Amino acid sequence: MKRTLRIAAVAGAVAIVVAAGLTTHESDPVRAGRSGKGHDIVIANGNDRLPNTTASDWITYADHVVAVTPVAESEIPPTPEEVERGEGMILRNVQLRVDDVVWSKAAPGRPAPTAFDWVAYGWSFQGPDTSQRVKMAGEDEPRLEAGHSYLMAIEWQEPRCSPGDEPVPGQWRGLGEDSTVPFDGQVIGDGELEGKPQSAAELLATQGIEEPDLSLEDEMTGKDAAALDHALDTAPPQTEEQFGPDPAETACK
């Protein structure tokens, strides 16, 4: 069950990557695990951008909840420093097609997209040849792979121009670990997680009936988008808090 929430209070601090879909830090531990097909996979820990475990979190911080399917991807080369060091990450730019808009805030930052790009984990490499690589995924998160579909709670982030940093273009971003969930066959919980197949039926069979503090993803496992829409429409709103720097301080002039 998912209950851990790690909010990144200072955006970009000690960051290797701050991208549309992920935030990874040098200080975060990385563990190696096994995928369902017997292949090695590196699982990375990161910090959540915003609260994202409950329906109230989603309606407070997301602009839209969309059903998406990856339609193409391309590799993002590692930095020259990583290549010289002989270890690092190869990320992916994943093109996502929006199949359905499940829910929208009354006054979203901008209309829901019909498609958007998403920076996702790709591979970890070691040695001078980046072809020696191991698949990489975020802990308890989908890797976003072709042949699968997902539900995503997304927020529009305006362009940012922080002093001393490269400008960051406006982009759709997730809230955190629990804001992207498997959605194959329009069943929440069916599909891919951490680069391996997952079954909603198997998850339900192991879910405790009296289990307290279930996340929204846990509560919706095995249900459809209409059930999620109802949960969001009936959730109590929260007072939105500011995490990270004030947008007024990073606005591009």
Q: Provide the pLDDT for residue 212.
A: 63
Task: Establish if 201 belongs to a structural domain.
Answer: yes
Q: Do the domain assignments include residue 7?
A: no
The answer to whether residue 182 scores a pLDDT higher than 60 is yes
What total of structural domains would you count in the chain? 1
* Domain region containing 125: 28-235
Is 19 part of any domain? no
85 falls within a domain: yes
Residue 15 lies inside a defined structural domain of this protein:
no
Phi, psi of 43 (to 5 degrees): -110, 120
Model pLDDT for residues 117-167, shown as the tens digit of each residue = 999 999 999 988 888 899 999 999 999 999 999 999 999 999 888 777 788
What per-residue confidence (pLDDT) applies to 206? 85
The confidence score (pLDDT) of residue 175 equals: 96
Residue 253: is its pLDDT beyond 80? no
Cα 192 to Cα 78, 126, 139, 180: the distances in Å are 25, 26, 13, 11
The reply to whether 12 falls in a domain is: no
pLDDT(193) > 90: yes
Provide the pLDDT for residue 211: 61
Question: Would you say residue 226 lies in a domain?
Answer: yes
Q: Please indicate, yes or no, if residue 38 is contained in any of the structural domains.
A: yes
Stretch among 34-38, 72-76, 184-188 having the lowest mean pLDDT: 34-38
247 confidence band (pLDDT: 50, 70, 90): confident
Q: For 15-58, how does the pLDDT look when each residue is reduced to its tens digit (9 = 90+)? A: 333 344 554 333 334 444 444 344 589 999 888 999 999 999 99
Contacts of 175 (CB under 8 A, 6+ apart): 48, 49, 50, 51, 52, 57, 58, 61, 62, 153, 155
